Structure 1
C-alpha cells in the first residue's frame, strides 16, 4: 500500500525505518536516502540527533490484522 503520508513502514526497515519512510513519501529508493544520510554524516551537524528525533516523531505504519 503506497500512501502519501510520512510513516515508518513495517517492512524494509534497517534500523528505525526513517530512511525507508522518507523514501516512500517522496517516491525514491530507500538505498538512495540511506546513502544520502551516510554522506551527510561526513558534514558537521546534528544528523544523528535529527534521525533519532524523526524516529520518535514519525508514526509507524499501522499493522494490518487479518481475521480468518
Structure 2
C-alpha cells in the first residue's frame, strides 16, 4: 500500500486528485472527472479538496521524512 502524498509530477492544481488516483490505482483524469461530477451534487466537496491540499504532504517532503 502506498502512502498518500501529493505527487511531484502529474499535478494540475494541488495534486490532490493525482494523489488519490495513485492510491486507488486509477488515472488522474478519471479522478478529476469524478471530482467535477461530485461538485454538481450537494456537499462540501470543494472544501474537502482544499483541506486535503493543505493536509497531504508533498511527495518530496514526504520522502525526506522517511
SS at match of 1:12: coil
Find the aligned partners of 1:37 and 1:48 in 2 and give their Cα distance. Answer: 9
Structure 2 residue runs without a partner (length 5+)? none
Structure 1 residue runs without a partner (length 5+)? none
User: Which stretches of structure 1, 4 residues or more, deviate above 6 A after TM superposition?
Assistant: none
SS at match of 2:10: coil
SS at match of 1:8: coil
CA shift for structure 1 position 17: 0.1
Aligned-residue CA RMSD (Å): 1.5
More helix by share: 2
Larger radius of gyration: 1
Where in structure 2 are the equivalents of 1:1-68 lying within 5 Å? 4-62=2-60
Give the aligned length.
62
In the superposition, the TM-score normalised over structure 2's length comes to 0.87
In the superposition, the TM-score normalised over structure 1's length comes to 0.85
